[in-house]
Structure 1
């Protein structure tokens, strides 16, 4: 499947590369928010089970992927900037649903706290409101390597921690991608992590409590960094939320093995479409593509 691509001007400040995967039979559109250091390629596996049901929108942050040539990189982009970019893209593509992965959950939830009227429901995957000890250790080591602009060490760190359950081919693609980024991308992630680690609260629970959009939080059973237990901190804080755990999966969920892919497909479609419309009639694709999301 080949998307329609466009570069969208966001408030005359940023230019964002977008990919629109049209489905003539679909009545709804879903927009996907990837994690730090990621590109649209990070959703290659997810796209396979969403596109039969939705129009799908992917995009690169201004500092990443195919958005890079269209922007200056003289200062890091804040999580508030990323939330505003997302809100503009929701309106531009008239998106009805949202799916975020990992650190993309910060921008997604900040955007949802502004009550975008078009969004009917949203999935927040591999995210946690709590920085637990494994995550703090990972972020501390990442800061050291990012400050030194040591892409090789950043790549090994990711594969040995949050990416430990990825197939070996994915790990090779991840390392190749991460070790060859531009300097400003490492500095962008350094700024993001520094902001997170030195703030009083990771994700402003009181502010996010105003979210009215129905949410599904999805985490991997073996993910020590954004764990199924820690995500339950949102229980009782966000009014309309559900939780799902993918068995025998780590942080990268549907990228890790076929059964995790099948579980993710069933869980996400069951929530986004409702049980009556979700189907299990699609076979998992086994060819691996470049994918990285943090």
Structure 2
């Protein structure tokens, strides 16, 4: 099924390209948050098991994909800007659930700390609260290549590290996509890396304790960059969280092979469709009216 597409205004003046995949039988809507420099196409595998159950909303950040022509790119977006955009989209589409991937976890957690009234559950995939040695090495190399605008080296770095377990077809697509980005997109990626390295933590743990809804953290068994062990450190800060490790899988999870896709389907749907506990009902703020597109 083809999505309904629209350009919507979020966070005062940003123009955001959106895709709405309707499910006639669905009672819930899930909003998906991309990783750094990715577009809606990155969730092509994920939609296959979410859309039969939920309405699904995808979007391109203002600097990327089909949002790019509709915005000026005078300066990179801050994580706080991305969180405000996300909060506006939650209200605009009446989203009940949230799913983020990789860097998208940074703005997703920041948005969730503001307790958006509609969101009942969220899934944070391929993201951790600390930078380990492999991730620090990846970021330092990336910062150097981005500073010198070494397009092919940037793409190769992603494929050799985070994307090492991707099928060859996906690696070729990555190479073309990443090496062909606009200059402002490399500036944006450079800004993401600078944010991560100063201070050297992916997120500020002080606001995580404000998130009262259930969270599921999903990581790949073989992902040395955002590892399952590091993800479990979230339990020290997030009041209500669960963890799922996909076997024989790296950073890109359901994109890597059929077994990973099936595991992701089981983990995500199992979490989202589980009945809330009495405690979760007690802590849920009352939903507010919102406009659906």
TM bin (shorter chain): over 0.9
Alpha-carbon shift at residue 198 of structure 1 (Å): 1.2
Structure 2: which 5+ runs fail to align?
276-293
TM-score, with length taken from structure 2: 0.93
- Counting only pairs closer than 5 Å after superposition, residues 210-229 of structure 1 correspond to structure 2 as 210-229=210-229
CA shift, 1:236, in A, is 3.0
Measured after TM superposition, the shift of residue 11 of structure 1 is 3.8
Aligned to 2:98: 98
Q: CA deviation at 1:117?
A: 0.9
Gapped regions of structure 1 (runs ≥ 5): 276-294
Alignment of 1:128-277 (within 5 A): 128-199=128-199, 201-274=201-274
Return the alpha-carbon distance in structure 2 between the equivalents of residues 242 and 229 of structure 1.
13
CA deviations 1:85-109 (Å, max 9, x no partner) are 0000000000000000000000000
Distance in structure 2 (CA, Å) of the matches to 1:214 and 1:117: 14
- 1:115-144 C-alpha deviation (Å, 9 max, x unpaired): 011001000000011100000000000001
- Provide the residue aligned with 2:55 in structure 1: 55
RMSD over aligned CA atoms reads 1.2
Superposition TM-score, scaled by structure 1 size: 0.92
Aligned to 1:155, what secondary structure does the other structure show? helix
Deviating beyond 2 angstroms after TM superposition, the runs of 4 or more aligned structure 1 residues are none
Shift of 1:213: 1.4
Q: Do structure 1's residue 6 and structure 2's residue 6 form an aligned pair?
A: yes
Worse overlay, 44-53 or 148-157: 148-157
Q: Where is the helix percentage greater, Structure 1 or Structure 2?
A: 2
2:131·2:201 contact (CA, 8 Å) conserved in 1? Answer: no
1:200/1:175 CA distance change after superposition, 3 Å? closer
Q: Distance in 2 between matches of 1:263 and 1:201?
A: 29
Number of corresponding residues: 276
Contact 2:21/2:55 (<8 A) preserved: yes
Q: Secondary structure at the match of 1:184?
A: helix
Task: Kindly indicate whether the alpha-carbon contact (under 8 Å) linking 1:149 and 1:187 is maintained by their aligned counterparts in 2.
Answer: no
Cα distance per residue 1:1-36 (max 9 Å; x no partner)? 200000011143200000000111101000000100
Q: Single out whichever of 258-267 and 205-214 deviates more from structure 2.
A: 205-214
Aligned partners of 2:92 and 2:149: how far apart in 1?
Answer: 35
Distance in structure 1 (CA, Å) of the matches to 2:29 and 2:202: 30
Deviation at 1:210, TM superposition (A): 1.1
What is the CA–CA distance in structure 2 between the aligned matches of 1:267 and 1:65, rounded to whole Å? 29
Matched, 1:110 2:144: no
